[in-house]
Amino acid sequence: MAFELDGRTYEVDEEGYLADLSEWNAEVAAYMAKEDDCDLDENHWEVINFLREYYDEYQIAPAVRVLTKAIGKKLGKDKGNSKYLYELFPYGPAKQACKYAGLPKPTGCV
Amino acid sequence: MSETKKFMYVNRHAPYGTVYALEGLEVVLIGAAFEQDVSMAFIGDGVFQLKQGQDTADSDMKNFSPAYRALGDYEVNCLYVERESLEERGLNEDDLMPLTWEDEDDDWAEKKSIHIVSRAQLSDLLEEQDVILNF
């Protein structure tokens, strides 16, 4: 599967995750979000950028439990909880945010 | 939830010649969601999985060694490495990645995850487990 954006073709897997994460850019994230009827604001970007940094450091996309704890440590308790993260990403914070971040589906995804 | 069981994942293969190491690590990360008492053991060529400074650029494979550093986030805090296996391969503890975990009950103090144990100690540890999975 693939989609086209600004004259470029992006390969994705059957669940919509980007095949080659080096192709990722902010427009790709915004496009994927729009397909899900989701407008990315700065709170979404905070999580997406966090995930990209996490992947860069550990080479894995974190499970939702690990993401929640790590966000809490970095951005504060009011953001490091499932309610806040599910409001931003109703399809599941790790799954949905990882997709927009161009990462593979999280390891240990529940 | 039912009672917690002691799970030990025993890693016996070098990281890149086969898929055992990567698949084993993924199972550990997935299994961590079930909140069991999880530890890992590294014996034989498995000790190479924890070696510092892995570089896979020439082999066209992904270097997944940074993922071992995430184990602490997944509450996998006990990695037992067999001393004899290290010595037989000319390695010692300083050749391994300095893996740590943060103890929530001790003001997030950083603690070492890797424990070097003798073959005899490891045999005792294996005896204590409810479930042993080999990779």
CB-based burial of residue A15 (10 Å sphere; 0-12 exposed, 13-18 middle, 19+ buried)? exposed
Is residue A105 predicted with pLDDT exceeding 80? Answer: yes
| Interfacial B residues in 56-95 facing A (CB < 8 Å) | 62-67, 69-70, 73-74
Residue A107 domain flag: no
Is residue A110 assigned to a domain? no
B39 inside domain = yes
Q: What is the pLDDT of residue A108?
A: 56
B114 domain-assigned: yes
- Which tens digit of pLDDT belongs to each residue from B12-38? 999 998 999 999 999 999 888 788 899
Encode pLDDT of B62-119 as tens digits: 899 999 999 999 999 999 999 999 999 999 999 999 999 998 888 889 999 999 999 9
How high is the pLDDT of residue A107? Answer: 67
Q: Using a CB–CB cutoff of 8 Å, tell me whether A59 touches chain B.
A: yes
Minimal C-alpha gap between B120 and chain A (Å): 33
Confidence of residue A110 (pLDDT cuts 50, 70, 90): very low
The answer to whether A51 touches A62, Cβ cutoff 8 Å, is yes
Which residues in chain B have their CB less than 8 angstroms from residue A60's CB?
A: 29, 64, 67, 70
Tally of domains within chain B: 1
Residue that has been written with the tokens 């407008």 in this structure: A39
Check residue B88 and give its pLDDT.
97
Can you give the CATH number for the domain in which B49 is found? Answer: 3.40.1260.10
Asked if residue B13 is part of any domain, the answer here is yes
How many C-beta atoms surround the C-beta of residue A92 within 10 A?
17
Name every chain B residue with its beta carbon within 8 A of the beta carbon of A57. 66, 69
DSSP labels, B24-86: HHHHHHHHGGG--EEEEEE-GGGGGGGBSS---GGGTS---GGGGGGGGGGT---EEEEHHHH
Q: Considering its fold, how many domains does chain A have in total? A: 1
From chain A, pick out residues whose CB is under 8 angstroms from the CB of B29: 60, 63, 107-108
From B62, which residue of chain A is nearest by alpha-carbon distance? A59
Q: Which range marks the domain in which residue A15 is found?
A: 2-100
CA distances from B123 to A110, B4, B86, B129 (A): 34, 21, 16, 10
Q: What is the CATH number of the domain that holds A28?
A: 1.10.10.370
For residue A12, give how far its alpha carbon lies from the nearest alpha carbon of chain B (Å).
19
Assess if residue A95 is contained within a domain: yes
Instruction: Say yes or no for a CB contact (<8 Å) between B29 and A107.
Output: yes
Query: What mean pLDDT, rounded, does chain A reach?
Result: 90
Domain that holds residue B52: 6-134
pTM exceeds 0.90, yes or no? no
Q: Could B32 and A59 be called an inter-chain contact, meaning their C-beta atoms sit closer than 8 Å? A: no
Q: How far is CA B14 from the centre of its chain?
A: 12
Question: What type of residue sits at position B55?
Answer: D
| Residue B1 falls inside a structural domain | no
**CB-facing half-sphere around the CA of B1: CA atoms within 13 A:** 7
The CA distance from A51 to B135, in Å, is 29
Residue A109 lies in a domain: no
